[in-house]
Amino acid sequence: MVFRDGIPLVSERNSGRILELAPDGSSRSVGTVEGVAARGEAGLLGLAVGKEGDLYVYSTASDGNRVQRFTVTGAPGSLSLGEPDTLLDGIPAGSTHDGGRIAFGPDGMLYVTSGDAQRRDSAQDRNSLSGKILRMTPDGGVPADNPFPGSLTYSYGHRNPQGLAWADDGTLFATEFGQNTWDELNVITPGANYGWPTVEGIANREGFVDPLQQWQPGAASPSGMAYAGGTLFIANLRGQVLRSVAVSDPTAFTDHYSREYGRIRDVALAPDGQLWFMTNNTDGRGDPRPGDDQILAVPLSEG
C-alpha cells in the first residue's frame, strides 16, 4: 500500500493486480504484473514510489523474486501501468519467507527486504541475496557507500524482514518475523549481522546485533510499519493488533484495535495525516469477516 501523488495504490498478492483506490472506496485495476508466480507467501508483494513517480514492484516469478520499475501514466481514476524494467532478479524465492517490502529511504536509495526463502544458512552468506536488507540506486545499481564493496547487501542475518521505516533523524527500523520464539523490531545499521539462524531475539552474543524490542510470535508477527511524530506504528498478523512503539523509549508500546479487525498486514501514513491500515483475513490463515479484506483510516491521534 503506497500513495502516488496522493492516490492510494494496493497490490494483490495472488492476482498480480495493482489497484487504484477512489475516494468513494471503490477500486479499479491499474494493471497486472505479468509472470507473477503466486504460491503460499509468494506473489505480488511490495510497492514503492520513486522520485519521478515511477512505481517500483517486488514480486515472485518462476525463477525467483525480482524488483521491477514501471512508468505510470494517466490521471487519477484512469491510471495505467507501463512496461516493466527489471532492476534485480534471481532473489531466492520460496513458498514462505520471501520478504518483499521495498521503500525509498531519505537518502534516495531503494531498500529491499528479502527472506531466507527456507534456506536458513543463506542469511549468513553475504554473497547471497536472501536473508538480507538490500540497498540499491533507483536504477538498480550498487551505491558506492554500501558497506560491502560491489554488493547490494546492506545488512544480513535476517529470517524474514518485513516493515521498513525511518525516523526523523534518518534511523532505519525494520520488523522481522521470528520462528517460534521471538519476533523483532530492529535498528538497521550498515554491514551489521542480525544473527539468523544462529540466534533469534535478544541473545547477547558477540558479533550479532540484538533487536531493539521483541515479542512472542503469537502476540505479534509484525508486518508493515509506518513512522509519524516520534512513533512507529506496526501492523501485526497473528497478534491481530496495530502496535505503536515510542522511538524515544522502545520498551513503551501500546496496542490498538486488539483482535477487533483480525489480522493486520500493512499500515501507512496518508497524505492527509490519517493512518491507514489493511486487514488480511482472506490469506488462508485468518477467519474472514463480512466485508474483508478492508482498509481502515483513523486520525493519527487515535492510532
Do residue 213 and residue 191 come from a single domain?
Answer: yes
Alpha carbons 162 and 302: distance in angstroms, whole number: 24
Do residue 199 and residue 232 come from a single domain?
Answer: no
Residue 50 belongs to what domain range? 2-222
What percentage of the chain reaches a pLDDT higher than 70? 99
Residue 224 CB contacts under 8 Å (≥ 6 apart), including other chains: 1, 101, 162, 163, 175, 234, 235, 265, 266, 267, 268, 278
CATH number for the domain harbouring residue 99 = 2.120.10.30
Do residue 112 and residue 159 come from a single domain?
Answer: yes
Question: Which among 276, 274, 253 is positioned nearest to 264, based on CA atoms?
Answer: 276
For residue range 274-294, what is the model confidence (pLDDT) as tens digits? Answer: 999 999 999 889 999 898 999
Residue 125 CB contacts under 8 Å (≥ 6 apart), including other chains: 131, 156
Which pLDDT belongs to residue 300?
86
For residue range 153-164, what is the model confidence (pLDDT) as tens digits? Answer: 999 999 999 999
Per-residue pLDDT band at 302 (split at 50, 70, 90): low
* Number of residues assigned to the chain: 303
Do residue 175 and residue 233 come from a single domain?
Answer: no
Do residue 207 and residue 272 come from a single domain?
Answer: no
Question: Which among 193, 162, 180, 176 is positioned nearest to 99, based on CA atoms?
Answer: 162
Do residue 137 and residue 19 come from a single domain?
Answer: yes
Do residue 145 and residue 17 come from a single domain?
Answer: yes
For residue range 234-278, what is the model confidence (pLDDT) as tens digits? Answer: 999 999 999 999 999 988 899 999 999 999 999 999 999 999 999
Domain boundary among 222, 237, 256: 222
Which pLDDT belongs to residue 141?
98
Domain count, the chain: 2
Alpha carbons 201 and 214: distance in angstroms, whole number: 6
Alpha carbons 153 and 17: distance in angstroms, whole number: 29
Domain boundary among 173, 195, 222: 222
Do residue 238 and residue 190 come from a single domain?
Answer: no
Alpha carbons 112 and 102: distance in angstroms, whole number: 5
